[in-house]
Chains A and B, each alone.
Chain A
Amino acid sequence: MNIKAINPATFLMLFCCAYTKAALADAEVEDYFAMSPAELANIPVTIATGTPRPMFQSAAITSVITADQIKSMGATELHEVLETVPGVHASLTEGGNDYNYTIRGIKNTANSQVLILLNGTRITTPFIGTLMTGTEMPIEAIQRVEVIRGPGSALYGADAFAGVINIITKKAGDINGTRAGVRAGNWDTQSTWGQHSAELAGWNVATSLQYQHTQGDGGRIMNADAQTAFDNALGTNASHAPGALNSRYETLNGHLNLQRKHWDIGFWGFNSMDAGTRAGVANALDPKGVANGEQYLSDVRFSTEDWLEDWELTAHASYLHTDFLAQFQAFPNNAKLPIGPNGNINLSNFSLISFPDGVNANVGRSENIPSMELTSIYHGLDRHVFRLNTGFRYEEISTTESKNIGTGVITDNTQTVVNGQLTNLTGTPFVYLADTNRSIWSLVAQDEWQIAKNWQLTSGVRYDNYSDFGGTLNPRLALVWDINEQLTGKLLYGRAFRAPNFSEQGTQNNPVVLGNKHLKPETINTTELAFDYRPLLSLHTTLNVYYYEINNLISAVPVANGLNQYQNNGNQNGYGSEFEWEWQWNQQWQIKGNYAWQHATNADTKQRITGVPEHHIYVALGWHFSPQWQLQPQLNWISGRTRSLNDQRPLDDYETVDLTLRGKKLFKHLNLAASLRNAFNEYPLEPATLQLPQNLPLAGRSFYFEASIDF
Chain B
Amino acid sequence: MHYLSFDYLSRRWGTIINIIKWLWVVLSLGGLLFSGTLYAGDIEYKIKAGYLYNFTKFVTWPEDTSATFNICILGNDPFGDLIDPIEQRTAFGKPIKLLRLENNSTLAKISKSTLCHILFISSSIETPPTVKDAKNVLTVGESEHFASNGGMIGFVTEDSRIKLQINRQAFQLSELKVSAKLLEVAEIIEGGNHD
Contacts and interface: CB of A to CB of B under 8 A. Distances in A.
Interface stretch (A126-134, A303-311, A359-367): A303-311
B4 interface: no
A251 B111 CA distance: 56
B36 A48 contact: yes
Interface string B163-190: 1100010000000011111111110100
Interface stretch (A33-41, A79-87, A558-566): A33-41
Contacts of A46: 40, 160
Among the interface residues A32, A42, A44, A304, which one has the most CB atoms of the partner chain B within 10 A? Answer: A32
B89 A176 contact: yes
Contact of B46 (A28, A176, A303): A28
Nearest to A307: B180
A32 B181 contact: no
Interface string B42-65: 111011011101100110100000
Contacts of B33: 536-538
A40 B47 contact: yes
B15 interface: no
A485 interface: yes
Interface string A551-578: 0000000000000000000000000000
B7 interface: no
B78 to A, nearest CB: 13
A40 B36 contact: no
B35 interface: yes
B54 to A, nearest CB: 5
A419 to B, nearest CB: 64
Given A25-B82, A48-B39, A379 B184 contact: yes
B43 A305 contact: no
Contacts of A587: 35, 38
A45 interface: yes
**For chain B, what secondary structure do more than half of its interface residues adopt (helix, strand, loop), or is it mixed?**
helix
Given A26-B82, A37-B58, A45 B184 contact: no
Nearest to A488: B159
A470 interface: no
A377 interface: yes
Contacts of B32: 536, 538, 584-586
Contacts of B88: 176
A482 B161 CA distance: 12
Interface residues of A, number: 56
B184 A385 contact: yes
A199 B38 CA distance: 36
A311 B50 CA distance: 24
A690 interface: no
A37 B43 CA distance: 15
B146 to A, nearest CB: 17
B134 to A, nearest CB: 20
Interface in A1-59: 21-22, 24-26, 28-30, 32-33, 35-38, 40-50, 55
Interface in B75-93: 81-83, 85-86, 88-90, 93
Contacts of B168: 309
Contacts of B185: 37-38, 41, 55
Interface residues of B, number: 52
Contacts of B177: 306
B148 to A, nearest CB: 15
A43 B161 contact: yes
A303 B157 contact: no
Contact of B42 (A25, A33, A40): A25
A30 B89 CA distance: 10
Contact of A536 (B36, B43, B50, B181): B36
B85 A30 contact: yes
A29 B60 contact: no
Contacts of B85: 26, 29-30, 33
A202 interface: yes
A311 B180 CA distance: 7
B160 A29 contact: no
A33 B157 contact: no
B86 A33 contact: yes
Interface in A145-175: 173
B28 interface: yes
Contact of A36 (B49, B90, B181): B181
Contacts of A26: 81-82, 85
A584 B39 contact: yes
A37 B93 contact: no
B71 to A, nearest CB: 12
A485 B53 contact: no
Nearest to A201: B93
A48 B168 CA distance: 34
Contacts of B188: 379
Contacts of A311: 180
A454 interface: yes
B124 interface: no
Among the interface residues B85, B161, B184, B188, which one has the most CB atoms of the partner chain A within 10 A? Answer: B184
Given A25-B46, A48-B36, A303 B160 contact: no
Contacts of A29: 46, 49-50, 82-83, 85-86
B86 to A, nearest CB: 7
A682 interface: no
Contact of B157 (A45, A304, A538): A45
Given A32-B49, A50-B43, A586-B28, A538 B35 contact: yes
A380 to B, nearest CB: 9
Contacts of B163: 41
Interface in A467-481: none
A649 interface: no
B46 A537 contact: no
B37 interface: yes
15 contacts: A28-B46, A29-B82, A32-B47, A32-B49, A33-B89, A45-B162, A173-B89, A308-B180, A312-B180, A377-B180, A379-B180, A379-B183, A379-B188, A485-B159, A586-B28
Name the 8 nearest CB pairs between A and B, nearest first. Answer: A537-B36, A32-B50, A312-B180, A538-B36, A305-B179, A306-B177, A33-B53, A25-B82
Given A377-B184, A538-B36, 16 more contacts: A21-B42, A29-B49, A29-B82, A41-B164, A42-B161, A43-B47, A45-B44, A48-B43, A55-B184, A202-B93, A379-B183, A536-B33, A537-B39, A584-B36, A586-B31, A586-B32
Interface of A: 21-22, 24-26, 28-30, 32-33, 35-38, 40-50, 55, 173, 176, 199, 202, 261, 303-309, 311-312, 377, 379, 385, 453-454, 482, 485, 488, 534, 536-538, 584-587
